């Protein structure tokens, strides 16, 4: 059932699409950097702080294919998926700062945010639990005869949870339109892959459920885009779920408090040379006539946008304690 990795790009990528990739990857990188390395250390962001540094290509190369009627269930390392769905840096920062205008009104923190109108389900902290949820979202699409699909995001760690297996099996049996994007970043918190599973690839686990799975370079946004396109077409055509294992690396600790001393330096150095943003820039220079100045300009644009958003978020009110007991149940 497993499809071998596709080594050569089939698509001719135009500058416009690559600039969109570049923009969202850079926005995620810089926004998370501001949150983790500034606002968190300044005490303006409290609680946990999880980033997807080095993994930006995965949400960008896939979510960019989503249509308004599709649903997404991003993980905590997929901020760009939210940005692509129209969730703003302002909303994300207000969320991180626990403000009343954040997406959860201060009731939940960090990347634990979603938005019903923009069809993003917030992360479920019991990792793997979003797999059955994706099944239900997709079930409702098929129920109404729609051609929409669900983009489900999770990591290698999730693939050891029972929910992951129950959810994949049900989706396969019910032939549901789901595209699974698995960021295999080699570590579940501090636990390396060889202590998580006995098979070589997560795709091997997927094969057991009769779901087509392919393995891609998780740092190559173009490869992810192409694989996602195949997957989305497959799912929209009623052919059932499709799984993409993105081989990548977490260029941070599990969260801001974690120095990740358990990661060998050699591994970190090896992956820093495969940075997904630099990879894309190289492609744009070699194939689309972009130059260094374009990237400098783009970075400035992104940083200005973030600074404006930070300023706005810092002005936002904290939630009123009188609202503590609101919205536990539907209004009577």
- The minimum distance between CB 105 and another protein, in angstroms, equals 8
Residue in the block written with tokens 């393995």: 215
Question: Which residues contact another protein by CB under 8 A?
Answer: 71, 103-104, 107-108, 112-116, 121-122, 124-126, 129, 131-144, 162-163, 166-167, 169-170, 173-174, 327-330
Contact 160, 188 (CB under 8 A): yes
Closest CA to 154 of 108, 121, 199: 121
Angstrom distance (rounded) from CA 146 to CA 136: 14
- The minimum distance between CB 109 and another protein, in angstroms, equals 11
Nearer of residues 166 and 294 to another protein, judged by Cβ: 166
Contact 175, 237 (CB under 8 A): no
Nearer of residues 192 and 319 to another protein, judged by Cβ: 319
Q: Which DSSP state fits 35?
A: I
Contact 228, 195 (CB under 8 A): no
- The minimum distance between CB 324 and another protein, in angstroms, equals 10
Nearer of residues 26 and 179 to another protein, judged by Cβ: 179
Angstrom distance (rounded) from CA 1 to CA 287: 34
Helices of type H across the chain: 15-34, 57-63, 79-84, 89-96, 130-143, 162-174, 202-207, 221-236, 265-272, 276-288, 292-314
Closest CA to 39 of 317, 311, 319: 311
Nearer of residues 5 and 207 to another protein, judged by Cβ: 207
Nearer of residues 93 and 290 to another protein, judged by Cβ: 93
- The minimum distance between CB 122 and another protein, in angstroms, equals 5
Beta bridge partners of 179: 151, 242
- The minimum distance between CB 107 and another protein, in angstroms, equals 6
- The minimum distance between CB 158 and another protein, in angstroms, equals 13
- The minimum distance between CB 137 and another protein, in angstroms, equals 4
Nearer of residues 141 and 280 to another protein, judged by Cβ: 141
Nearer of residues 112 and 254 to another protein, judged by Cβ: 112
Angstrom distance (rounded) from CA 112 to CA 95: 9
Decide: helix, strand or coil at residue 245: strand
- The minimum distance between CB 131 and another protein, in angstroms, equals 7
Decide: helix, strand or coil at residue 163: helix
Nearer of residues 125 and 287 to another protein, judged by Cβ: 125
Residue in the block written with tokens 């946008």: 305
Closest CA to 235 of 130, 173, 142: 142
């Amino acid at each position: 059932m497993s499809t071998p990795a596709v080594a050569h790009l089939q698509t001719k990528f135009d500058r416009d699409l690559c600039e969109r990739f570049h923009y969202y990857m850079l926005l995620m990188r810089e926004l998370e950097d501001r949150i983790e390395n500034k606002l968190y250390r300044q005490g303006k962001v409290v609680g946990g702080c999880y980033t997807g540094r080095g993994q930006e290509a995965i949400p960008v190369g896939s979510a960019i294919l989503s249509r308004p009627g599709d649903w997404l269930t991003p993980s905590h390392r997929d901020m760009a998926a939210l940005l692509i769905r129209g969730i703003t840096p302002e909303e994300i920062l207000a969320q991180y700062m626990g403000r009343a205008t954040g997406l959860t009104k201060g009731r939940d923190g960090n990347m634990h945010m979603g938005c019903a109108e923009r069809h993003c389900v917030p992360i479920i902290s019991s990792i793997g639990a979003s797999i059955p949820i994706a099944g239900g979202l997709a079930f409702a699409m098929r129920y109404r005869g729609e051609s929409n699909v669900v983009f489900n995001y999770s990591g290698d760690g999730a693939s050891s949870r029972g929910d992951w297996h129950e959810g994949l099996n049900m989706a396969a049996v019910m032939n549901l339109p789901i595209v699974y994007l698995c960021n295999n970043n080699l570590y579940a918190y501090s636990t390396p892959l060889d202590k998580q599973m006995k098979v070589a690839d997560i795709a091997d686990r997927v094969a057991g459920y009769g779901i087509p799975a392919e393995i891609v370079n998780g740092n190559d946004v173009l490869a992810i885009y192409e694989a996602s396109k195949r997957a989305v077409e497959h799912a929209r055509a009623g052919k059932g779920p499709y799984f993409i294992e993105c081989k990548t690396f977490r260029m941070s600790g599990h969260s801001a408090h974690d120095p990740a001393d358990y990661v060998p330096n050699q591994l970190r150095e090896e992956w820093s040379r495969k940075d997904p943003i630099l990879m894309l820039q190289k492609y744009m220079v070699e194939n689309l006539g972009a130059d260094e100045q374009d990237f400098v300009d783009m970075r400035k644009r992104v940083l200005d946008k973030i600074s404006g958003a930070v300023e706005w978020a810092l002005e936002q009110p904290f939630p009123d304690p009188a609202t503590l007991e609101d919205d536990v149940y539907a209004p009577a």
